[in-house]
Amino acid sequence: MDSSAHTDRLGRRIAGARIEADLTQAELAAAAGVKTIQTVGNWEGGRSRPSLEVLRRIAEITKRPVPWFLQDENEPDASLAAALDRTARLLEEYRAREAATGLPAATVTLPVLGSVAAGNWQEAVTHAGETYDYPASEFPPDMARDAAFLLRISGDSMINAGIMNGDLILVQPTPDYQEGEIVIVTNGGEATCKYVSFAGPDRTPILLAANPAYPPLLLPEGTRIIGVARGVTRKIGRR
């Protein structure tokens, strides 16, 4: 079976499992950790497919075994023992199709390197080994994926830019920036996330919050701009 037929079949199975579980596309998106219902619609319409990690979440949410999503629709539902025997083969085939298909993956798995303050200077906190599936449809097309990373926001100084406490920001690592961009700035072991602007005739760089409760910050000596924020996402928790 060709990869497009496999993607169509997978989409029908996701839609069927969602409906039987009495979930809307929005509810499935939230529970599976993806940001928009468009992502779920693309899966169900055969235009993209979830990553293997997300597919496992969908299986858990809809109380279906992963092999059920992958097996041929004309193949009878297997017993538990048979399903377990086939799981490794089916998952390996799925990985191979992910690598070989021309269809885009629905998500991009990125490292979450730590937390950064959206407020005053705070100590940067690292999160070794944490990853997050960022929606591929929202990934900037001009941005390299292999160097990108995420940081978790701590604080409320950027709320008027749509960046809330606990959000994950997508960072393009670069020392270069333009006025009006949101940058990630480090100063020794501390870091913050702010708009960058210039003040006075000598165009001194300053950091501006998106919350009137926070005053502008000057960049102390030794400050480094390590990246520019290119996107934001948040994970909606379950009740």
DSSP the chain: --HHHHHHHHHHHHHHHHHHTT--HHHHHHHHT-S-HHHHHHHHTTS-B--HHHHHHHHHHHT--HHHHHS-TTSPPPPHHHHHHHHHHHHHHHHHHHHH-SSPBSEEEEEEEEEEESSS-EE-EE-TT-EEEEEGGGS-TTS-SSS-EEEEEESSTTGGGT--TT-EEEEEE-S---TT-EEEEEETTEEEEEEEEEETTTTEEEEE-SSTTS--EE--TT-EEEEEEEEEE-PPPP-
Q: Determine the Cα–Cα distance for residues 156 and 148; give it in Å rounded to an integer.
A: 24
- The residues, any chain, with a CB within 8 Å of residue 204's CB and separated by 6 or more, are 198, 218
Q: Provide the pLDDT for residue 160.
A: 92
Catalytic residues: 157, 194
Task: Render pLDDT for 1-51 as a digit per residue (tens, 0 to 9).
Answer: 445 555 678 888 899 999 989 999 999 998 988 878 888 988 888 888 888
Q: Provide the pLDDT for residue 163.
A: 92
Q: Determine the Cα–Cα distance for residues 104 and 99; give it in Å rounded to an integer.
A: 10
- The residues, any chain, with a CB within 8 Å of residue 50's CB and separated by 6 or more, are 14, 32, 43, 58, 106, 107
Tell me the two tokens of residue 156.
């409320």
With a cut of 50, which residues of the chain have pLDDT below it? 1-2, 76-88, 124, 238-239
**Are the CB atoms for 162 and 198 separated by under 8 Å?**
no
Partnered with residue 111 across adjacent β-strands are: 131
Q: Provide the pLDDT for residue 96.
A: 62
Q: Determine the Cα–Cα distance for residues 31 and 72; give it in Å rounded to an integer.
A: 26
**Amino acid occupying residue 204:** T
Q: Provide the pLDDT for residue 238.
A: 47
Please, what are the domains in the chain? 3-100 (1.10.260.40), 107-233 (2.10.109.10)
Q: Provide the pLDDT for residue 1.
A: 43
Q: Determine the Cα–Cα distance for residues 9 and 53; give it in Å rounded to an integer.
A: 18
Q: Provide the pLDDT for residue 80.
A: 39
Q: Determine the Cα–Cα distance for residues 68 and 17; give it in Å rounded to an integer.
A: 10
Q: Provide the pLDDT for residue 4.
A: 57
Q: Provide the pLDDT for residue 180.
A: 92
